[in-house]
Amino acid sequence: MKPTRLESRFSSFFADMEDLGHRCARAVRSGARTLAALPWPVLLVAAILLACLLTIVPLVLTLFVGFLLLKFVAGAVFGRRPRQIGE
């Protein structure tokens, strides 16, 4: 019996997801082997850099959005537009 179009589409999607799962597992195994081969000082530096990135980047983005919103609110409340730059 020939599969219907929906079954064919689902089997194709399932095959793609299975392939993606295999590739992710392979990447995780490769990363684990790389981490196991690193000496501990390098691993410490990598952990510190990763921790800094995970804490500083969201803080910077949050402050940027906060100050941008503050600028828009101040502009709406006080109603002054920035001056045009003359030549």
Range of the domain at 1: 1-37
Domain count, the chain: 2
Q: What is the pLDDT of residues 9-50, one digit of tens each?
A: 778 889 999 999 999 999 999 999 998 998 999 999 989 999
Answer yes or no: do 49 and 85 share one domain: yes
Answer yes or no: do 57 and 18 share one domain: no
Give residue 62's pLDDT band: very low, low, confident or very high (50, 70, 90).
Answer: very high
Answer yes or no: do 58 and 81 share one domain: yes
Answer yes or no: do 16 and 32 share one domain: yes
Answer yes or no: do 79 and 44 share one domain: yes
Q: What's the pTM?
A: 0.48
Q: How far apart are CA 49 and CA 53, in angstroms?
A: 6
Predicted pLDDT of residue 82: 66
Cα angle at 59 between 41 and 77, to 5 degrees? 170
> In this model, does residue 6 exceed pLDDT 80?
no
Answer yes or no: do 29 and 4 share one domain: yes
Answer yes or no: do 12 and 33 share one domain: yes
